[in-house]
Amino acid sequence: MNNKDHFGLYIKKYWQLSLAFMLYMYFYLTAELAFTGCAEQVFGKDAGTVFYGTICLIAAMGFFTFAPLRKVFLSTGLRRRLFLGLGMAGALCTLLAPFANGWIMGTLSLFAMFCAGHIGAALLYKMTVSVREKSIFGLFIAIPYAAAFLLQYLFGFIEPLFGSIRLAVTHTALAAALLASAALLLVYGSKAPEGNVPRLAKKTDAKQYLFAALMACLIISCLFGLMDGIIMNLHAGQQLNVRGWVRLLTIPGMLFAAWTADYKGGRYFPFATLLAMTAAVIAMFLFSTAQTYNAALGSIYLFFSYMNIYTLAVFVRVAHDTDLPDFWASVGRGAKYAMGGLFVLLGSFIFTSLSLIFIAVLYIALLIALASVFYFRGRLAISPPPTAADKSSAASDFNSLVAAYRFTERETELMRLLLSGKSTSAIAEEMFVNVSTVYKYTSAIMAKTETKSRLELVSLFKR
C-alpha cells in the first residue's frame, strides 16, 4: 500500500469529514480575527489582544467540555440534538455579534467560540474512531487545514468589494461555515462494518505516551502563545497585517510538517518539531525593527505549522488506543488554545514592557523543557512503539476478526499474506495455487467483510 492508494481511499471514504474539518478551520481562523476586530471597535485598540486571548480560553472550554457532555447526553439520547443546537446557536451568535454593542457583542462572540470548540472536539473524535488509514494521518489533517488558510486569504481578498455590507457578508459566511461543518458531521457515517466486529484491544502504554505528548503540547503552546501575543500587539497597532499574503506560508509549512509526521511512522516528527520551534524563536529577533516585521511573521507562520500538526495528529492518532478516545482526541487542541490564550496576554505584556533579551531567555528555557520531554518521555516518535503486550494483542485481534468473519483455513492463510504486503503472484506461489484462485479467495473474503477493495480489506485488519 503506497501513499497514493491511501489518499485515494481517503478521498472516497472520508470526503465529508475532510470538508467539515476544512469549513470548521476556516471559521475558527477567520472568526478569531473578526471578533477581535469587533472588540477593538467597541472597547478600543488596547482591548484587542486581551479579547483575542480570552477567545482562545473560551474555545478551549468548548474542547474540554466535549467529553463529559457527550457522556451525559449520550445516555439520554439527546446527543445529536445538543450538537445541532450548539451549531445553530454558534452560527446565530456569529451573525448577531458585529451588530451588538458593548458587552452583548463580547458575550455573543465568546459563546460562538465555545460552540466552535465543542464542534471542533467532535470532529477530532470522529476522525479518531473513523479513519483507519493512520499511515498518512498527518496529511489527512494538513490538506483541509491548508485549504482553510487558502480560503480565508481568498475571501479576505474579495471582502473590500462588498463595501458597506462587508461586515455582514463576512459574518454570514462564518455562520454558514460553522453550521455546515456541524451538519456534515451529523450526516457523516463510516461505511466500515461495525456490528459484527469485536472491540480491538487497547495498547498497553497509550495513556502514558499521551501524558508525555500533552506535556510537550503545553510547552509548544506556551511558545506559540508568547509569539502570538507579540503578533496581535503589532496587529492591533496596525504595524503589520496578520491576514496578508505572508499567512499563506503556513500552507507549505503545514504540508511539510504533515509529511514529517507520516514519514516512517513519525519517528523523527518530534525532533523536527523541536527544530522548527527553535527556528521560530530565532525568527522572533526579526521583530526588533519595523522593516523586518513581515519577514518575522512569515517565518513564524512557516515554522509554527509543526505546532498545528503536533497538537492534532499525535492525539487523534493515538486516542483510539485508549479507553477515553473522546477525551484524548480533543485534549491536545484544547490545551493548545488554553495555554496559548494565557500566554498571548503574557506575551503582549512582555513585548511592550520588557526587553527582547528577557524574551529570548524565556524562550530558551521553554525549548530546553521541550527537548527534555521529547528525549525522556516522547520517545521521538508520533506514537508509542509496540510493546510485547501490544504484539500479543495484535495477534489476538487478528484471530478475533478471523473468527468473527468465519474465515476458512485457506482464507486465513491468504489474509496473513495480504497483511504482509506481498503481491498477488507471490501469494499464489507461496500458497501453491494459481493467480485466479487467489482472486477467488480474495473476493470471498471481501464479501464476508463487506469491503470493496484489497486496500480497504487490509486497512480493516490494521486498525
The average pLDDT across 368-387 equals 68
Amino acid code (one letter) for 169: V
45 C-beta neighbours (distance < 10 Å), count: 13
| Residues 38, 80: Cα–Cα separation, whole Å | 32
- pTM for the model stands at 0.78
| Residues 374, 271: Cα–Cα separation, whole Å | 8
| Residues 327, 65: Cα–Cα separation, whole Å | 9
pLDDT of 90 higher than 90:
yes
| Residues 25, 20: Cα–Cα separation, whole Å | 9
pLDDT of 204 higher than 60:
no
Helix residue ranges per DSSP H, 65-165: 66-76, 79-96, 102-130, 137-158
Rounded mean pLDDT of the chain? Answer: 80
pLDDT of 201 higher than 70:
no
Query: Are the C-beta atoms of residues 236 and 40 closer than 8 Å to each other?
Result: yes
How does residue 386 score in pLDDT terms, banded at 50, 70 and 90? low
Q: At residue 400, what are phi and psi to the nearest 5 degrees?
A: -65, -40
What 3-state DSSP class applies to 155? helix
Nearest to 154 by CA among 232, 234, 31, 247: 247
* pLDDT (0 to 100) of residue 301: 84
How does residue 315 score in pLDDT terms, banded at 50, 70 and 90? confident
Q: Which helix (H) or strand (E) segment is 60 a member of?
A: helix 47-64
Looking at domain 10-190+201-378, its CATH class is mainly alpha
Residue count of the chain: 463
How does residue 197 score in pLDDT terms, banded at 50, 70 and 90? very low
Q: Where are the domains of the chain?
A: 10-190+201-378, 388-461
Q: What is the pLDDT of residues 416-430, one digit of tens each?
A: 888 877 888 888 888
* pLDDT (0 to 100) of residue 196: 38
Query: Are the C-beta atoms of residues 382 and 269 closer than 8 Å to each other?
Result: yes
* pLDDT (0 to 100) of residue 65: 92
Query: Are the C-beta atoms of residues 305 and 250 closer than 8 Å to each other?
Result: yes
- CATH 1.10.10.10 is right for the domain spanning 388-461: yes
Q: What is the pLDDT of residues 134-145, one digit of tens each?
A: 667 888 889 899
pLDDT of 4 higher than 60:
no
Cell of 366: 521553554
How does residue 172 score in pLDDT terms, banded at 50, 70 and 90? very high
Q: How far is CA 183 from CA 119, 240, 312, 449, in A?
A: 10, 36, 22, 29
Nearest to 316 by CA among 83, 62, 139, 86: 139
Helix residue ranges per DSSP H, 354-387: 356-373
